[in-house]
Amino acid sequence: MIAEKMKPYLENNSAIRAMFEEGRRMAALYGADKVYDFSLGNPNVPAPDGIKKAIEQILEEEDPVFVHGYMSNAGFPQVRAAIAENLNRRYGTHFTENNLIMTVGAGSGLNVCLKTLLDPGDEVIVFAPYFLEYGSYIRNYDGVLVQVEPDTQTFQLNLDDFAARLSERTKAVIINNPHNPTGVVYSEETIRALAELLKQRQRQYGHAIYLLSDEPYRELAFDGAKVPFVTHYYDNTMVVYSYSKSLSLPGERIGYVIIPDEVEDSENTITAATIANRISGCVNAPSLMQLAVAKCVDAEVDLGYYDRNRKALYEGLTALGFTCVKPEGAFYLWLKSPAEDEKAFVEAAKKYHILMVPGSSFAGPGYVRLAYCVSYETIQNALPEFAKLAKEYF
Ligand code: PLP
């Protein structure tokens, strides 16, 4: 008999699975080039050449016992040092290898942070819409998710509602910048205001409130949008990063958590997080990938590829009459459903072989998400189909 706690996941899992199966079924029926699948955040840009070269070089030149062996649960010290040095250069921080823990992607990084921080019943505030796995991760440690309602004008952080949700029980707050699913980038002004509010409440409640900044899309910002580096604004920040999107390595499961010295009781917190990484069963992040990303710390994302897609999709859809949040970051477009029930809109789109994710999958009903990490041709070929779809509504 499976655990009661797992039962609700079975139902939810079948919905996600159904979408995946739908894509495969349509591709088999109509041909993959006649299906416009905007459902998955799986980068279409290949990993940089440097990654392949780094892996080849590591396998050729390094001792296999070292490459494939266990190491510190926080990861190879020289890998953490190389990443820390790169971050210090880019963001004017002063991290050392001791501030970094290599993790099995951002998903695992968030779990490491929450396992380190949460006692049962502790509240974690998230801003809707949000990456729905946050709820699962919080429940893993018997935390309680508290949801802030969106500011549907801007989809920036709704700080008025946030102020009302903060309480003595708040242990942590999760933000994600650039943002999945809206494509919004939180401005420096927004981050500063968030930090001020948190500082004030920490003083009022007399305990730390941790800000978990989930940043798998950090480098994916367009039109010169700046993504503020949150540790500069608020001491009790943990940064969660992943190479899944920036280096197109989602299946390789590699990322890290930063816990700065400024975090309260930082030494114990870093040790606890390193243990959390171990006892979650991950033990350590994949060794070959750690060594490979360390060799590619200066590799850059092909922003031009996503930018071309972003412009084509945003301009194409708004010209057809759809209302979209102008995406500034990540590779998602957040479109207001022209039907009141966005699930009906998603169903209607399937007639034209267009696959999108309903906003309710991100606690954002009334909207749909399109992932534009697809080929440019997919967007070009999808727009005439969107035009047919638009005719049903406008
Ligand atoms: N956080 C957000 C906002 C994401 O969109 C994703 C993946 O799509 C993750 C975390 C998990 O990333 P990873 O593949 O590194 O576990």
Q: Average pLDDT, whole number, for the chain?
A: 96
Same domain, 157 and 62: yes
The CATH number of the domain holding residue 150 is 3.40.640.10
177, 242, 249: residue to mutate for ligand 1 pocket, most atoms within 8 A of CB: 242
Residue positions counted in the chain: 394
Structural domain ending residue among the three candidates 242, 277, 294: 294
Residue nearest (by alpha carbon) to ligand 1 atom 12? 106
The amino acid that residue 252 corresponds to is E
180 lines ligand 1 (CB under 6 A): yes
- Most informative mutation of 16, 42, 102, 133 for ligand 1 (most atoms within 8 A of CB): 133
Number of domains in the chain: 2
55 within 8 A of 288, measured Cβ to Cβ:
yes
Contacts 24+ apart (CB under 8 A), 5-14: 5/139, 9/136
Pocket test for ligand 1, best of 180, 184, 277 (most atoms within 8 A of CB): 180
Give yes or no: residues 246 and 204 share one domain. Answer: yes
Q: State which ligand 1 atom lies nearest to the alpha carbon of 330.
A: 5
Residue 388 Cα, ligand 1 centroid: separation in angstroms? 33
Ligand 1 pocket test: pick from 214, 239, 293 the residue with the most ligand atoms within 8 Å of its Cβ: 214
Indicate whether residue 237 lines ligand 1 (CB < 6 A): no
> Does residue 242 line the site of ligand 1, with CB under 6 A?
yes
pLDDT at 13: 78
Is pLDDT of 302 > 90?
no
Verify that 127 and 211 share a domain, yes or no: yes
**What is the reported pLDDT for 386?**
98
Asked if 338 and 229 sit in the same domain, the reply is no
- The tokens for 355 are 């696959």
Between the CA of 168 and the centroid of ligand 1 the distance, in Å, is 29
**Token match 């809707």: residue?**
128
Q: What's the pLDDT band for 14 if we cut at 50, 70, 90?
A: low
Helix axes 287-295, 49-61, angle to 10 degrees: 120
Q: How far is the CA of 6 from the centre of ligand 1 (A)?
A: 21
**Residue 19 pLDDT level (bands cut at 50, 70, 90):** confident
> Of 294, 329, 348, which one is at a domain's C-terminal end?
294
> Would you call the peptide bond into 178 cis, given omega within 30 degrees of 0 as the criterion?
yes
Say how many C-beta atoms besides its own lie within 10 A of residue 48's C-beta: 18
Choosing from 279, 294, 309, the residue where a domain stops is 294
* CATH code, domain with 321: 3.90.1150.10
Q: What percentage of the chain has pLDDT greater than the value 70? A: 99
Instruction: Report helix, strand or coil for 237.
Output: strand
Same domain, 271 and 313: no
Neighbours of 49 (CB within 10 A): 10
Which tens digit of pLDDT belongs to each residue from 369-378? 999 999 999 9
Are the C-beta atoms of 142 and 121 separated by less than 8 Å?
yes
**Which amino acid is present at 89?**
R
Q: What is the mean pLDDT of residues 325-349?
A: 97
Whether residues 194 and 279 share a domain: the answer is yes
What pLDDT digit, counting tens, does each position of 165-203 carry? 999 999 999 999 999 999 999 999 999 999 999 999 999
CA of 176 to the centre of ligand 1 (A): 10
- Indicate if 232 and 375 belong to the same structural domain: no
Same domain, 351 and 260: no
Q: Is the CB of 103 under 6 A from ligand 1?
A: no
Number of CB atoms found within 10 A of residue 218's CB: 22
Q: CA 198, CA 208: separation in Å to the nearest integer? A: 9
Instruction: Please report the pLDDT score of residue 184 as a whole number.
Output: 98
pTM of the model: 0.97
For residues 275 and 329, state if they share a domain: no
Same-domain status, 229 and 328 = no
Q: Which residue has the higher pLDDT, 11 or 102?
A: 102
Backbone φ and ψ for 118, nearest 5 degrees, come out as: -90, 135
Does residue 98 share a domain with residue 191? yes
What are phi and psi for residue 234, nearest 5 degrees? -150, 125
Give dist(CA 107, CA 104) in Å, integer. 7
210/197 same-domain check: yes
**pLDDT for res 24:** 87
8 preceded by cis ω (within 30°)?
no
pLDDT in tens, 45-92: 999 999 999 999 999 999 999 999 999 999 999 999 999 999 999 999
Which range marks the domain in which residue 123 is found?
49-294
